[in-house]
Amino acid sequence: MAMKNINSQKANLNRILEENALTEIEYQEIVKTLNREPNNVELGLYSAMWSEHCSYKSSKLLLRHFPTHAEWVLFGPGENAGAIDIGDGMAMVMKIESHNHPSAVEPFHGAATGIGGVVRDILAMGARPVAILGSLRFGNWEDPHIQYLVKEVVKGLAFYANNILVPVIGGETYFLDSYQENPLVNAMCIGLVKKEDIVIAAAKEVDSIVILAGERTGRDGVGSASFASRELSESDEEINHPPIPQGNPYLKKKIIEACLEIVANGLILAMQDLGAAGLVSSSSEMASKGNSGIELNLTLVPKKEKDITSREIMLSETQERMLLIARKEKLKEIGLVLDKWGIDYTVIGRVTSDGLLRLKERGNIVAEVPAKSLAEGAPYRHYQGRISDKFKEIQKLDLGKIPQPLDYNQALLGLLSSRNLCSKKGIYHGFNQTSATGTEVIMFPGDDAGIIKMEGSKKAIAFTVDGNGRYCYLDPFVGGVIAVAEAARNLSCKGARPLAITDNLNFGNPEKEEIFWQLEEAVKGISKAAKEMGIPVISGNVSLNNESNKEAIFPTPVIGMAGIIEDFSKICTLSFKNEHDLVVLIGENKEELGGSEYLKVFHNLERGLPPQVDLNLEKSVQNVCRRCIDLGILSSAHDCSEGGLLIALSECCSAGKVGIKVDKRVKTRNDALLFGESQSCIIVSLPQEKLSLLKDIALKYQAPIEVLGEVGGDSLKFGNLVNLKIEQILEARERNFDNA
C-alpha cells in the first residue's frame, strides 16, 4: 500500500510538472519559498514567470557580459526599454522584441501583436513611439507556404503600424533554408520623451492604487509564455498552441494618446504594459522593482467571458492593456483623461508593504506568493556548451574546387535578383511612412539606415537592424562581432555616431550543448565589439527554442542600433550623384568568400570561414567616414556587406541612376574581389579636388583607402569583367518582390 501511495504521489507530481512546464527542482524551490504546496493558481503564476520567455533563466548569466553603461545612458537593461540622453532635455528609448512562435502558427496576428508588444514597451516608459524597424527571416521563397507566411506577416506588421500612425523606417528580410519551419519576426521600436517625463515600472508607494486600463480580459494567449519557451515539434498547421492574441491598433492609438497625456500631467507614479504572462508579469515585476507588494481583487477585473478563472485572468495576454500606479487623489483626473479618449479603466488593487502578490476573488484569497520570487527567483539553468562535431567541417572551403563564373555580367545580374540581395521595395511599399508627431522621417527603407529629424532641432537620429545567421552558423563569435560592426558601419555611413544597442538573440534549444555554445560565443562576440567600439547594450530580448523536428535555426543575433547626427543637413545617402566624382574604397578588400551569398546562390554552399573583423581597423574606417561627412566633402557613402564590393557599387549606381567606371588591379580571385564580403569597407564618392583632404583624414586615423574609379555614364563598368547598363541593374534588382 505504501509503495502504491508513493507511485501515486510521483505520478501526480509528474502531471503537475508537465501541465505547468516546471522541473522538479523548480517545483521544490517553489515549495521551499512558500513553505507549503502551491495551489493551482499559484502554479500558473510560477509556470508563466519562470518560463524561459519571461525569466531568461538559461541566458541571464551570459547577458552580464554586455557593456551597459555610458555617460549618456539613462536606463539600461531591466526596464521596459533602454533610454539614452540625446540632449536638449530629450531622451530616446528603444527596444527590440521577437514574436517568432506566434508568427509561425498565425502569421498575421502573430506579427501584428509583435509590433503591439514592443510599442507598449516604449509607451510604458512614458515615451511617444515614433519609428519602427523590422528584422524578418523566412525559409525558401519557392515554397507556397513560405510565400503565405511572408505575405501574412508583412500584412500584419503593416496593419498594426499603419493604424497607430508610427512609420516603418527600415529593416531587413532574409530567406534561408534554416528558417523553413521557424520564421523570425523581430520588431524594433523607438520613442522620444522629455527626460523629466520618463516613467519606470516600480510600485514603491504603499496604498497607491492599481488601475487596469484598456481592453477587457479574455482567454487570449493563456499559456503563451510557456508556448514561446518550447520547440515547435510538429508541422506548422498541427501545432497545439494557445489562442494567439489579436491586436486592436485603433484602440492602441487611443491608449497611446491617453497615457502620454496622463504622463505629461504628472498623474501617475509608475506604468507597465501587459504583454507576455499578462497581469502576473506586470504586477509582480512592478512590486519586485519597488520592493513592495501588490494586492489585486480579481472580481473587479473587466472580463470578456463570465466563466474565466482566476488563473486565466492572471495569465491572459489580451492585448491593449496597461497597468497604472497612482495616488488615490489622482484617480479623478486620470479618469477624465481616459474617458476623454474612450478607454475603459478600473481600480483593481493597491500597493502594499509586505512584498507579496496577493490575489483575491469574492473576498477569498486565491493566491499569495512573494512578488520577488515570481519576478526574480527562477533558478538559473547552468548549461555547458560544446563545439559541435561538424563545426570544423563546415569551416572547410577549398576554393580550388570552386569554379569561377564564365560571364561576370550574368553572375552580377543573378546575384542582384537573388532573394536576399534584390530590392525589398515590394515588401515595404505597404508600410506607412507618415511623419510622427514631433518628428520628421527623412530617410526611409532602402538606404543604410532610417533617420528621423527632431522637431525644432538640427539633430537627427539614425537607426538600423543587422544580423547574419549564416556567419554565426560558421563562427558564432565572429558573427556576433560582425553584427555590431556592420550596424555601426551603417550608421556611420549616414554621419551618425553610434550610441546604443538593443539586441534580439534568436537561437535553438539551449539544453543542447552545441546550441548553448553558439549562444555563449555570440554573446561574447557582441560584447567584445560593443566594448571596443564604446556602444552600450541598453535593452534587448532573448528568443530560444527556435527549433522544429529537432532542427535548430542558424544562430541569429539581431542588433538594433541608434546613433546621433548633430546636423541633419549633413546627412549622406548611398546614391552616386555627380559626374566625374571619384569613387574611393575606405578599407581593404580581401579574399574572403566563406559564408558569402555568392557561394550560396551559385554553388549552394554555406560553409567556410566567415569574413574576419579587425575592430581597430573597423573603428578607423568609420571614423574617417564620419569625419568626412561632418566636413561636407562626400557626395555619398555606402557600406560593403552581403554580396560584396560589386553589389555595393550596383546599389550606389541604381540609387543615383548613374554609372561608374572602375579600373582596379586584381590581387585575388576575380569572384573573391567582386563578391567576397570583407568587413570594414565603405564606398564613398567625392569631388576630385577633395581627394587630398580625404587622404589626410585617412592617414590621421590609419585607415587604408583606394581610388576605384569615376562616376559617370549610363553603365557600370568594372575593368574587363563587367559592363552593364544601369537599366539592366535596376531591372534585376527590382524584378522579384514588386510583383509578389
- pLDDT computed for residue 236 by the predictor: 41
- pLDDT computed for residue 548 by the predictor: 84
CATH of residue 209's domain is 3.90.650.10
pLDDT of residue 694 exceeding 50, the answer is: yes
Could you tell me which residue, 737 or 102, shows the higher pLDDT? 102
At residue 80, φ and ψ (nearest 5 deg) are -60, -35
- pLDDT computed for residue 232 by the predictor: 59
Residue 257 shares a structural domain with residue 236:
yes
pLDDT of residue 729 exceeding 70, the answer is: yes
**Does 161 reside within a domain?**
no
At residue 238, φ and ψ (nearest 5 deg) are -110, 0
Residue 609 shares a structural domain with residue 689:
yes
pLDDT in tens, 175-193: 999 999 999 999 999 999 9
The DSSP bridge pattern shows strands 497-506 and 537-543 to be parallel
The DSSP bridge pattern shows strands 636-639 and 682-686 to be antiparallel
Residue 342 shares a structural domain with residue 402:
no
Reported in sequence order, the residue ranges of 483-621 that DSSP labels E, i.e. its strands, are 497-506, 537-543, 547-548, 551-552, 556-565, 582-586
Lowest-pLDDT choice from 101-110, 532-541, 684-693: 101-110
pLDDT in tens, 194-218: 999 999 999 999 999 999 999 999 9
Residue 207 shares a structural domain with residue 301:
yes
Residue that has been written with the C-alpha cell 570552386 in this structure: 402
Residue 737 shares a structural domain with residue 654:
yes
pLDDT of residue 449 exceeding 60, the answer is: yes
Residue 608 shares a structural domain with residue 705:
yes
Reported in sequence order, the residue ranges of 475-536 that DSSP labels E, i.e. its strands, are 497-506
**Does 367 reside within a domain?**
yes
Residue 32 shares a structural domain with residue 47:
no
- pLDDT computed for residue 306 by the predictor: 87
CB neighbourhood size of 245 (10 A): 28
Residue 213 shares a structural domain with residue 358:
yes
- pLDDT computed for residue 444 by the predictor: 66
Give the pLDDT mean for 552-572.
96
pLDDT in tens, 9-24: 788 888 999 999 999 9
**Does 44 reside within a domain?**
yes
pLDDT in tens, 592-646: 999 999 999 999 999 999 999 999 999 999 999 999 999 999 999 999 999 999 9
Residue 172's region, left for phi above 0, alpha for psi from -120 to 50, else beta, is beta
**Does 248 reside within a domain?**
yes
**What residues are paired with 356 via a beta bridge?**
370
Residue 401 shares a structural domain with residue 297:
no
What are the CA-CA distances from residue 178 to residues 141, 482, 483, 505, 553 (Å)?
12, 20, 18, 16, 5
- pLDDT computed for residue 342 by the predictor: 97
- pLDDT computed for residue 229 by the predictor: 46
pLDDT of residue 234 exceeding 60, the answer is: no
524, burial (CB in 10 Å: exposed 0-12, middle 13-18, buried 19+): middle
Residue 619 shares a structural domain with residue 660:
yes
Residue 237 pLDDT class (50, 70, 90 cuts): very low
**Does 740 reside within a domain?**
yes
> What contacts 284, CB < 8 A, 6 or more positions away?
45, 49, 294, 357, 371, 374, 375
Domain that holds residue 406: 396-430+572-740
**Does 63 reside within a domain?**
yes
Residue 405 shares a structural domain with residue 321:
no
pLDDT in tens, 61-70: 999 999 999 9
The grid cell for 134 is 523590422
Average pLDDT, the chain: 93
pLDDT of residue 426 exceeding 90, the answer is: no
Q: N- to C-terminal Cα distance for the chain?
A: 68
**What residues are paired with 91 via a beta bridge?**
85, 193
Share of the chain above pLDDT 70, in %: 94
- pLDDT computed for residue 235 by the predictor: 43
Total domains in the chain come to 3
Residue 730 shares a structural domain with residue 583:
yes
**Does 582 reside within a domain?**
yes
Over 413-461, what HEC string results? Answer: HHHHCCCCCCCCHHHHCCCCCCCCCCEEEEECECECCEEEEECCCCCEE
Catalytic residues: 53, 99
